[in-house]
Structure 1
């Protein structure tokens, strides 16, 4: 299977999840707007979701996958199964203890870490605590899901792990439709969504558990024991968890700071949904597929293939994220108005959320490139260096957000996140080059400026198209007319970008096919830079 097909397999599942996520957010915006119940739900959900990325996806995709792959190479499926059972026993025990501790300490955590700004509003504070208590066990389900997903990715079975997240949105959309049909008030909607998150976590775990069993790697429970392999995993996993969850750490910090102003938490989360579409479809696909492929290439001594994998992944990332960033910067306001502005979501909410989304757009390439660069460290079992860079990024984010938030509000937090993201990218790439782990690629150097030029031309076309379609995108226009106009605008921008990028040599179909195809067991031949 080519690298492109692997990206597409993961991306298709993520795309389905993100599209359903838009539907979910549209329904939530109409039901809750950017009011106190929306603030409480998003703040409460952010906490277990951050821990999920830290102790689940971040740690296991970065630390578990290379070690699991090594066990398969060295000791076959029996050795890999034994290693997985050892890890599962420790992980399950740690997660159970953590969940109990966090549940008992939730009022303290909300007042000090999750949303300290809610402390002055007793009703909002109590609601946030209640919702967080309901949702926190989601962490346990999803961390175990992340481990199973790592196993499936190492076995090159990508579909089940990619499609499982779809069910979170399926369940929450079902809750919202049921609440609308039965006339539930905002508070009932909030509690229904919280319980829906828990149910979705169980469903996702069941899906990947079944897929692992189908792959012939059924895992039995072992009493937790710190074997040499588990100790090695823990040494790698702690810094990898911090690094892999850097975006979520910054979001958690942003949520805590934003809790000091009404509506800021929900505004950040609603904007986050949009830039998470390209980030999830491209960034997560690249990170999930690249890490095990790069680890295999390095362990087999195939440096040419490793270099090709890294450069093609960056090129693939830029090919899609640069136009996405340009589009979010130029047409964020009509996007938010058309998809969100109804019910409890007002024109004032549109102004704030669209400004946040435009700023996030500037950081989109950075957030994806972080996921493309970190496998260059993780595949070499170096998880400490990216952790140090992540710590620097967090410090910059906190400092900048505290400076900008009093004057800018939610857009200030988005600005801080973008600045921190680009600094992280510069550090990751700089040290890869310094260590000789990133070779200069003539094709990438030639095509990247052309991708940028095509994105700029597309942005200009979107700006002009937005002015022409403005009467059909206006607030009082019927929804079907707004949607048709927005679809026409997006489609026109896509035609301009892809037409331009292929015309000026930023990419060509043959290059895309050739540069992402793996050569099988033999060392990959040098790739024509054109």
Structure 2
């Protein structure tokens, strides 16, 4: 399978998760709006998510995947299985200790780290503590999921690992549907959401255990020991953990600042849900595929293949992300109103959320660039450069948030986040060029310039449509608004992709091969 095909395989699975995520968020918005229960749920859910991204998906995967790929290339599956078993035993012990401590000290953590401003509202504070305790086992399950997904990705089996997060949204949507049918109160709906999160983690873990067994790659349990291989993993994971920790501190500081304004945490989450669609589908797809592919190419000494991977990743990432950012920046109100505005989610909430979404979208290409640049360092076992990039990001984000929040409200937090993302991405790019780890090919630079030009032309059309037909895009009945937004998006897509294919910004042959392959039937595992 081609590189674009692998991106599409992961991106397609991620897209399914994101679409269901929209359904989930729309239902939460209708049931809870931007009220205290929504604030409590999102604040509590962010905490296990913080440790999941730090402890599992971030530091662990960044260190584990290159080492696991090295074992496969050097010693075959037997050596890789032995390494995985050693890591699993240490991971399980660490998760047990961390989970036990977090469950005991959760009131202290909520009062000092998660949402200290909630202390002025005892009911919201107590509900946040309860929901955080209910959902914290999700961390343990998802940490194991991250490890199994890393193994599958290193074996070039991408699809099921990318599909697993769909289960989170399936379970949450089912729980919300049952809550509506039973006419539960808002606090009870919050508890249903909490238990649904934990159940989804168990189901995701079960799916990936089955996927590995199907590949005849079973992992046994051994006594936890700090073997040389595990110590090497921990040595590499430490700076990656600090990198991930800084990034998550970034988000947590924003949450702490936002907790001073009622509904702000929920508004950030709703806006970020839309912003995460292109970031998740494209950024995650590139990050998931690029790290193991690049690691294996470098281990095999194939620098030509490594450069090809980087150039194609850069082209593909910018080709989808730049027009998506333009669309979200210029058409936020109709999109937010269409997706969320019903029930407890009012027009006033739509307007505020739209401002936040527009501010987030400015930084969207930067965060995808980070997803492209960071694996280049991790594949070479260089964990320190991304650490410096994250340090720059956190300083700018915290300073910007403290400066802008009093003046611009919750939109100021989104602006600070976008600015921090761009400075971090530019630093990583500068390091790649300075150290001669990657220089974009002339063809890649030309294509990116054409991509930006095409997105600008598309932006003119979006601006004209938003200014000329606000009554159809924002104030008409739901069917009319749905049709109007779809027509506007399709027209802008025709302008952008038409320009891109005509000028060579996008490779028509590559996309033709991709769609021809999909007509024959998708490869369910993303096999090469």
TM-score normalized with structure 2 length: 0.95
Query: Any idea what the Cα deviations from partners look like across 1:430-462, whole Å, max 9, x if unmatched?
Result: 111111101241001111111111111111101
Asked if the contact 1:40–1:127 (Cα under 8 Å) also holds between the matched residues in 2, the reply is: yes
Q: CA deviation at 1:493?
A: 1.2
Are the aligned partners of 1:53 and 1:241 in contact in 2 as well (CA < 8 Å)? no
- Tell me if structure 2 keeps the 8 A contact 1:450–1:501: yes
Per-residue CA shift, 1:253-304, capped at 9, x if unaligned?
2112111110110000000100111011100010110111111111121111
Alpha-carbon contact 1:60-1:150 (below 8 Å) kept: no
Partner residue, 2:481: 482
Match of 1:72 in 2: 72
CA–CA separation in structure 2 for the residues paired with 1:196 and 1:400: 35
Residue 508 of structure 1 pairs with residue 507 of structure 2: yes
Match for residue 214 of structure 2?
Answer: 214
Instruction: Report the count of equivalent residues.
Output: 514
- The residue aligned with 1:494 is 493
Deviation at 1:247, TM superposition (A): 5.0
Q: Name the residue aligned to 2:442.
A: 442
> Counterpart in 2 of 1:342?
342
Provide the rounded CA distance (Å) in 2 between the counterparts of 1:183 and 1:482: 29
Query: Within 1, Cα distance between the matches of 2:59 and 2:129?
Result: 27
1:432 alignment partner in structure 2: 432
Give the 5 Å matches for 1:465-476. 465-475=465-475
Q: Give the superposition deviation at 1:333.
A: 0.8
SS for the counterpart of 1:418 is helix
Find the counterpart in structure 1 of residue 395 from structure 2: 395
**How many angstroms apart in 2 are the aligned matches of 1:319 and 1:243?**
27
What are the Cα deviations for residues 109-131 of structure 1, in whole angstroms up to 9, with x where unaligned?
11111111111111111111111
Name 1:370's counterpart in structure 2. 370
Cα distance in 2 between the residues matched to 1:471 and 1:408: 27
CA deviation string 1:178-226 (max 9, x = no partner): 1111111111110100000000000001001111121111111112110
Paired residues of 1:69 and 1:292 also in contact (CA < 8 A): yes
Structure 2: tracts of 5 or more residues without a match: 515-528
Residue in 2 that maps onto 1:185: 185
Question: For residue 115 of structure 2, what is the aligned residue in structure 1?
Answer: 115
Between the aligned partners of 2:184 and 2:433, the Cα distance in structure 1 is 56
- The whole-number CA distance in structure 1 between the counterparts of 2:508 and 2:167 is 34
Looking at structure 2, the residues matched to 353 and 107 of structure 1 have their Cα atoms a distance apart, in angstroms, of 30
Distance in 2 of aligned mates of 1:95 and 1:86: 15
1:34-74 deviation line (CA, Å, top 9, x unaligned): 11111110000011111111111112331111101111122
1:9–1:158 contact (8 Å) kept in structure 2? yes
Q: Secondary structure at the match of 1:307?
A: helix
The match for 2:331 is 331
Query: CA contact under 8 A between 2:333 and 2:474: conserved in structure 1?
Result: no
Over 3 Å counting, the alpha-carbon distance change for 1:305 and 1:72 in structure 2 is same
* Partners of 2:429 and 2:384 in 1: CA distance: 15
Tell me by how many angstroms 1:513 deviates: 7.2
**Cα drift, residue 486 of structure 1:** 1.2
Corresponding residue for residue 528 of structure 1: none
Contact kept? 1:58, 1:242, Cα under 8 Å: no
8 A Cα contact 2:386 2:428, kept in partner = yes
Q: Distance in 1 between matches of 2:160 and 2:509?
A: 30
Q: RMSD over aligned Cα, in angstroms? A: 1.5
After TM superposition, the structure 1 = structure 2 runs for residues 74-473 of structure 1, keeping only pairs within 5 Å, are: 74-244=74-244, 248-473=248-473
